[in-house]
Amino acid sequence: MFTVVALTPEREGSAMTALLERTNTAVRRPFLSRGVGFAGISTAMVAILVAAGAPTPLLPIYQHQWGFPPWVLTLAFGVYAFSLLVSIVVIGSLSDHIGRKPMIIGALALDLVAMLMFLAAPSIGWVIAARVVQGVATGAASSSLSAAVVELAPERFKKLGAQMTSMAPLAGLAIGALFAGVLAEFATDAPFAVWLVLAVLIAALTVFALFTPETATRKPGALASLNPRISLPVRVRGLYWTAVPGIVGGFMTMTLFMGLVPALLVAVFEVRSPILGSLLAAVALGTATAGSALTSQVRPPRLRSTGTSAMIVGAVLFVGSIGATSLTLLWAAAIIGGGGIGLSFAGTTRGLVPEVAPHERAGLFTAIFFVGYLAMGSSAIIAGLFVGVVGAAAAAAGFGVVTAIVTLVGVVAARLDRS
């Protein structure tokens, strides 16, 4: 038996409004849960850095194919860091205004363009242009992905979300260098194979990002946020400035193994196998990842102090490996210096992130990455110029000494922060 209920115009209007609201909510609701979104966006954070680490073992192959001078290797590394830096400064805080999701989708799509440019590159000029595009994409993704990972993490795993922000970039670079190095050793056309696989991966993650939840509330001021500036909350500025020398030292240590080692292995150690350079970079960044992952119970100031001290030891061993022409010392430098990167960066992020409000996180990560990539880009290009003048050995040794001195300032600052 059915009962027919007549609706008055008022009740009919209310029912229609409720139906439209339910329909709109269903349309806006993402297909994926926050937990699945957390896993996927964490994967995207790693993947975009995998792509950034892949050129390290491929650049010597390009040099052999196209015959360009050694300093171009560091130029290709440096322009990436500078384009990333500009991207971070201009649009690093944009996701605080338009939402995380549009920024992540746009950054992944742009990174896919870079993969296709690498895939079709006929000369080193194309490779450098692709590195510029890749740098812009990575910069656009860095702060928005970092903030989204923290915000998507389930409540009981919030600490894991913060930990991912320090682990994923290092792990991604390590995996990228190792992945490309293995293919470079065994594949017939290694660059083509590397960029094809990465293009497919980035394309899949771009589609995935379309269905992930939005974690940030839109707010006005999007256009104003494009004015190049560093947005850092006043209450963390003191802590931030004490952490800057350690950040700079960490990114310079990464430059040692990702920007200088490929040229150093050929010029000093007479090693032309691309897999060794990729293994050294992977070991340095892998121990950095492990150092960050295994120290979640250690207080941030102690992490920073221990990490910066380890980076000094790594830089000294790096210089010693050049003087003694010892691959053993170079491996030791990668392990100890890499571990120091992870400890120092984990201490920095874990000390700063809890002190800022959710809508300030993207700006905070922008400030952290700004000084890091400024140090990476400028030091790589300057080192490349010195390689052309004094040779790879002298330039790399000088770079190691400067890294040790800068990081020593970080040790002092970390100890002052603990006192």
Q: Does any domain span residue 39? A: yes
DSSP state of 358: G
Closest C-alpha among 397, 401, 399 to residue 325: 397
Q: Is the dihedral of CA 50, 54, 259, 140 positive or negative?
A: negative
CA distances to 32, 215, 360 from 147, in Å: 18, 9, 9
Tell me, what's the pLDDT at 1?
A: 40
Instruction: Give the CA angle between residues 346, 252, 44 to the nearest 5°.
Output: 55
Q: What is the pLDDT of residues 54-91, one digit of tens each?
A: 998 888 888 888 988 877 877 888 889 889 888 888 88
Q: What is the DSSP string of 28-55?
A: HS-SS-HHHHHHHHHHHHHHHHHHHHTH
In a domain, 229, yes or no: no
Query: Residue 162: what pLDDT?
Result: 65
Q: Examine residue 399 and state whether it is found in any structural domain, yes or no.
A: yes
| pLDDT band, very low/low/confident/very high, at 308 (cuts 50, 70, 90) | very high
Q: Does residue 289 belong to any structural domain of this protein?
A: yes
d(CA 27, CA 24): 5
The encoded tokens of residue 181 equal 């190095």
On whether residue 23 sits in a domain, the answer given is no
3-state secondary structure of 226: helix
In angstroms, the Cα distances linking 378 to 21, 259, 272, 319 are: 53, 12, 27, 20
- Record the tokens describing residue 29, joined without a space: 């609701």
Banded model confidence at residue 17, pLDDT cuts 50, 70, 90: very low
* Over residues 319-347, mean pLDDT: 93
pLDDT digits (tens, 9 = 90+) for 115-154: 999 999 999 999 999 999 999 999 888 778 877 887 887 7
- Whether 12 shows a pLDDT value over 60: the answer reads no
* Residue 29 confidence (pLDDT) above 70: no
387 lies in which domain range?
Answer: 32-214+235-418
Q: What is the pLDDT of residue 6?
A: 44
Quote the CA–CA distance of 371 and 349 in Å, as a whole number. 14
| pLDDT on residue 369 | 80
Residue 2, pLDDT score: 37
- Two structure tokens written together for 281: 């970079």
The pLDDT score that the predictor gives to residue 283 is: 92
Contact 373, 251 (CB under 8 A): yes
Model confidence, pTM: 0.78
Residue 232's SS3 state is coil
Q: Which of 137-146, 278-287, 329-338 has the lowest mean pLDDT?
A: 137-146
**Alpha-helix residue ranges (DSSP H) falling in 325-391:** 327-352, 361-390
- CA distances to 51, 180, 214 from 202, rounded to whole Å, are 9, 16, 20
Does some domain include residue 107? yes
Report the CATH number that the domain containing residue 283 is assigned in CATH.
Answer: 1.20.1250.20
- Measured between alpha carbons, how far is 84 from 131 in angstroms, rounded to an integer? 9
The mean pLDDT of 230-247, rounded to a whole number, is 85
Structural domain total, the chain: 1
| Domain presence at residue 17 | no
Q: Are 49 and 286 in contact (CB under 8 A)?
A: no
Burial group, residue 308, by CB count within 10 angstroms (0-12, 13-18, 19+) = buried
In this prediction, residue 330 carries a pLDDT of: 95
Residue 39 has pLDDT above 70, yes or no: yes
Which residue did the predictor score with more confidence, 104 or 164?
Answer: 104
Q: What is the pLDDT of residue 4?
A: 38
SS3 354: helix
Which is more confident, 315 or 373? 315
Tell me if 20 is assigned to some domain: no
The pLDDT mean for the chain works out to 83
Higher pLDDT, 122 or 163: 122
- 418 pLDDT band, cuts 50/70/90, is low
The pLDDT of residue 389 is: 85
CA distance 285 to 292: 11
- In percent, the amount of the chain with pLDDT more than 70 equals 87
Burial bucket for residue 270 (CB in 10 Å: 0-12, 13-18, 19+): exposed
